[in-house]
Chains A and B, each alone.
Chain A
Amino acid sequence: MAGEQLALTVLMGVLLVGIVALVSRYGDLRSYTPLAGGAGYGGETSHGHSEKPAGLIRWFTTVDHKDIGILYGLYGTIAFLWGGAAVMLMRVELAAPGFDVMQAQFYNSLLTSHGITMLFLFGTPIIAAFSNYFVPLLIGADDMAFPRINAIAFWLLPPAAVLIWAGFFTAPLTGNEIAPAQTSWTMYTPLSAEQVNPGVDLMLLGLHLSGVSATMGAINFIATIFTERSEKVNWANLDIFSWTILTQSALILFAFPLLGSALVMLLLDRNFGTAFFAVDGGSPILWQHLFWFFGHPEVYILVLPPMGLVSWILPKFAGRKLFGFKFVVYSTLAIGVLSFGVWAHHMFSTGIDPRIRASFMAVSLAIAIPSAVKTFNWITTLWNGKIRLTAPMLFCIGFISNFVIGGITGVFLAAIPVDLVLHDTYYVVGHFHYVVMGMIAFAGFGAIYYWYPIVTGKMYQRTLAKWHFWLSMVGTNITFFAFLLLGYLGMPRRYATYNFDAAIAPLAEVTSLHQIATVGAFILMIGQLIWLWNLVSSYYEGPTVEDGDPWNLKEDGMFGREFQWFEAQLARADGGEVEDEELVTDGGRIVNENLTAAVRRVADDDE
């Protein structure tokens, strides 16, 4: 034991010395423009200096919002592939009733990993990818308000992922002594408090880091949108995507610290002998209250920005302005406020006071109203529009279609009597997968295709993109509609195996529906592989975008601020007068007068 500690200490010493050596290689680090308002230390201008170091070092040290957006995107994609691989194994296991491919422990590990990965390591970061890259461009800002904090928020995520997935790597090395967590993403106590597996601690720590990251990012977005807008961007003409990011950031600010506190309490229960969630101490129900006070807003944290993306992209290909812009903003704010008053609808069956249940049912049903406002506004925007079915537009329309099913199944679940019957069945899983896959991922894909020319300077392969859409749309509906039916037949969620008494449910039908769902999942997977191939191959071989308006948005008067910025960038690359980067990272003064004017123009031109 003492030898082990000594070895660890020496190893850490070497690591630290290496880091000091690495950092010292950068020489005089104080010559950059300091943060806005951060005194004049090291205040010599950045004029004439190179922008970024070359190669990998650039990506490890960047504080540019665009680079960080790309890093978030790559990270989210890797997490998406991991979560997708986990669920494909689970779907294969469920294609037949018995334990045919794996045992329950491994299934539970995959289930936990899939849920946490898709929500915290894919869902939240992929939204941050869009917001980091595009919010500063859309509001005419030089960069985020705190570029270095932006970078810290990103760099917390890779260690978080390593910790959350750690059990899968350490289990074979330690003979299953440190195994992947089997707590499900909700980590319900007392189960999660009493499992001795240190892999659970690692996962909780990783989750905690991801929460710290999200909170730092949110504070940064709030500060950026409030203080860094160009003078021509006011609250009335702030774009809809930035509105949803602002609302989302506010939700993160109130929700994620609660998750962090609850996780620390759980860690203390597991390692420091406290009794917050013990059956004979605090209460296991306390965990559910704390978790869902975070967990339900988390749903809207994940879905509001995709709604913003659709509200931004859909009008571009409908050739009309977003119908009822103001009411779409109001509904965003309404959802943000209401989201904190609905958490106990996850707990209808825990035996909480019926009066509390009833009030939570009322608020949960009320969220349908602002949601419907958005849906009808999108449909009305399409009405009489000049609709162009490009890949981004197809994903927007698919998003609305899936939202109708995902949203209405949610209204049913908000009703106590229905929830008591369908609670913890596949109906719930079907409902939230319509939202998570059918909406959040769909809006993400639409936005990736829409902004692909800006980020890569290339155009994607349109036929492959349409294949991707149709396989995703068909796969999503086959898989998750089968889930809804499975729920009606009483199939409980989180099970690796199933075998029903014929008096309770018909096993043959349940098996068939599981097989249909598995086939749907494979269709989905093929679609995503096409997507990946398309993005990577187009990045290397796609045609270079030479027109600042690749979507022909000008003719409908729909040319947004981010494409105006892109057009200015292209003009510059064509040998325009201005060659060096104009946007000073830390909000310092803009050196080049021409560019100052160009940046302002971009902001002015937009309505």
Chain B
Amino acid sequence: MEQRADTDTGGGVETPKKMSPWPLFVAVGLAVAEVGIVMEGLYPVAVAGLLLFVGSVAGIVHEAGYVARPWKLLGALGALLVLAGVGVLYSQVGTDLLSALASDSVVVVRGYAILGAGVIAVFGGFAGRFVVDADPSVPE
């Protein structure tokens, strides 16, 4: 199709440069998260979609060179999700957040899904920072 060669093996390390694995996952993560949050009964899908989305965003921003390591950003995005999840819960049960546990409203469950994804992302951020980065065998 193209007139030029796609690879150049004339010395140096063979690493592709006009590619990035993240855009596909950012897009799919957003789509899966939207479907999971809105469609009734797909809350695990919402958690997975949100995690995929925030994870890929942290990955792509890191790859583009805007942050040195992705973990802080992952944790911050997780914190935003926690806030959003608490906001949804607050909209349903007010300040008595514990009573939400007893509620069977579908909106409350959606709030928990968002909150849960946020908590996992925050933990992921900590884990990356203190476990992965602490491992000397992982390249910078």
Please give the residue numbers on chain A whose beta carbons come within 8 Å of chain B beta carbons, in ascending order.
Answer: 1, 4-5, 8-9, 11-13, 15-16, 19, 22-23, 26, 28-35, 38-43, 46-54, 57-58, 60-64, 66-67, 70, 147-149, 151-152, 154-156, 159-160, 163, 198, 201-202, 205, 208-209, 212, 267, 271-273, 455-457, 569-570, 572-573, 579-581, 584-586
Q: In the complex, A19 Cα to B55 Cα: how many Å?
A: 11
Distance in angstroms from B114 CB to nearest chain A CB is 13
Interface string of B6-39 (1 = CB under 8 A from A): 1111111111111111111111101110110011
**Contact present for A58 and B6 (CB under 8 Å):** yes
Distance in angstroms from A45 CB to nearest chain B CB is 9
- Of the candidates B12, B48, B106, the one whose C-beta lies within 8 Å of that of A47 is B12
Distance in angstroms from B90 CB to nearest chain A CB is 14
Q: Take A48-B8, A63-B18, A156-B27 as given contacts and tell me if A35 and B65 are in contact as well, using a CB distance cutoff of 8 Å.
A: yes
Distance in angstroms from A270 CB to nearest chain B CB is 8
Q: Take A53-B19, A61-B19, A63-B19 as given contacts and tell me if A205 and B52 are in contact as well, using a CB distance cutoff of 8 Å.
A: no
Q: Take A58-B19, A62-B19 as given contacts and tell me if A48 and B12 are in contact as well, using a CB distance cutoff of 8 Å.
A: yes
Q: In the complex, A5 Cα to B48 Cα: how many Å?
A: 13
From A64, A67, A151, residue with most partner B Cβ within 10 Å: A151
Which residues in B have their C-beta under 8 angstroms from that of A580? 4-5, 8, 10
**Contact present for A570 and B7 (CB under 8 Å):** no
Which residues in B have their C-beta under 8 angstroms from that of A208? 34
- Of the candidates A38, A50, A67, the one whose C-beta lies within 8 Å of that of B16 is A50
**Contact present for B65 and A28 (CB under 8 Å):** no
**Contact present for B65 and A64 (CB under 8 Å):** no
Closest residue of chain B to A149, judged by CB?
Answer: B23
From A19, A31, A62, A586, residue with most partner B Cβ within 10 Å: A19
Q: In the complex, A357 Cα to B22 Cα: how many Å?
A: 48
Which residues in A have their C-beta under 8 angstroms from that of B106? 271
**Contact present for A581 and B4 (CB under 8 Å):** yes
**Contact present for B31 and A573 (CB under 8 Å):** no
Q: In the complex, A569 Cα to B41 Cα: how many Å?
A: 54
**Contact present for A61 and B20 (CB under 8 Å):** yes
**Contact present for A15 and B48 (CB under 8 Å):** yes
From A34, A47, A48, residue with most partner B Cβ within 10 Å: A48
Q: Take A34-B65, A50-B7, A160-B31 as given contacts and tell me if A23 and B16 are in contact as well, using a CB distance cutoff of 8 Å.
A: no
Q: Take A32-B17, A64-B18, A456-B1 as given contacts and tell me if A272 and B24 are in contact as well, using a CB distance cutoff of 8 Å.
A: no
Please give the residue numbers on chain B whose beta carbons come within 8 Å of chain A beta carbons, in ascending order.
Answer: 1-28, 30-32, 34-35, 38-45, 47-48, 51-52, 59-60, 62-66, 68, 106-107, 139
Closest residue of chain B to A160, judged by CB?
Answer: B31
Could you give 21 example pairs across A and B, Cβ below 8 Å?
A5-B41, A12-B47, A32-B63, A38-B65, A39-B66, A43-B65, A50-B16, A51-B5, A52-B16, A54-B6, A61-B23, A63-B19, A152-B26, A159-B32, A205-B31, A205-B38, A209-B31, A271-B40, A457-B3, A581-B18, A584-B17
**Contact present for B40 and A198 (CB under 8 Å):** yes
**Contact present for B16 and A51 (CB under 8 Å):** yes
Q: Take A198-B39, A456-B1 as given contacts and tell me if A155 and B17 are in contact as well, using a CB distance cutoff of 8 Å.
A: no
Q: In the complex, A12 Cα to B96 Cα: how many Å?
A: 31
**Majority DSSP secondary structure for residues of A touching B:** helix
Which residues in A have their C-beta under 8 angstroms from that of B38? 201, 205, 267, 271
Distance in angstroms from A543 CB to nearest chain B CB is 15
Closest residue of chain A to B43, judged by CB?
Answer: A5
Which residues in B have their C-beta under 8 angstroms from that of A19? 25, 52
Which residues in B have their C-beta under 8 angstroms from that of A4? 41
Distance in angstroms from A109 CB to nearest chain B CB is 19
Distance in angstroms from B52 CB to nearest chain A CB is 6
**Contact present for B21 and A22 (CB under 8 Å):** yes
Closest residue of chain B to A582, judged by CB?
Answer: B4
**Contact present for A585 and B60 (CB under 8 Å):** no
Distance in angstroms from A405 CB to nearest chain B CB is 38
**Contact present for A61 and B35 (CB under 8 Å):** no
Q: Take A5-B44, A61-B21 as given contacts and tell me if A159 and B31 are in contact as well, using a CB distance cutoff of 8 Å.
A: yes
Which residues in B have their C-beta under 8 angstroms from that of A152? 23, 26-27, 60
Q: In the complex, A42 Cα to B39 Cα: how many Å?
A: 41
Closest residue of chain B to A585, judged by CB?
Answer: B18
**Contact present for A31 and B15 (CB under 8 Å):** yes
Q: Take A163-B31, A569-B4, A572-B3 as given contacts and tell me if A51 and B52 are in contact as well, using a CB distance cutoff of 8 Å.
A: no
Q: In the complex, A340 Cα to B107 Cα: how many Å?
A: 36
Closest residue of chain A to B13, judged by CB?
Answer: A49
**Contact present for B1 and A457 (CB under 8 Å):** yes
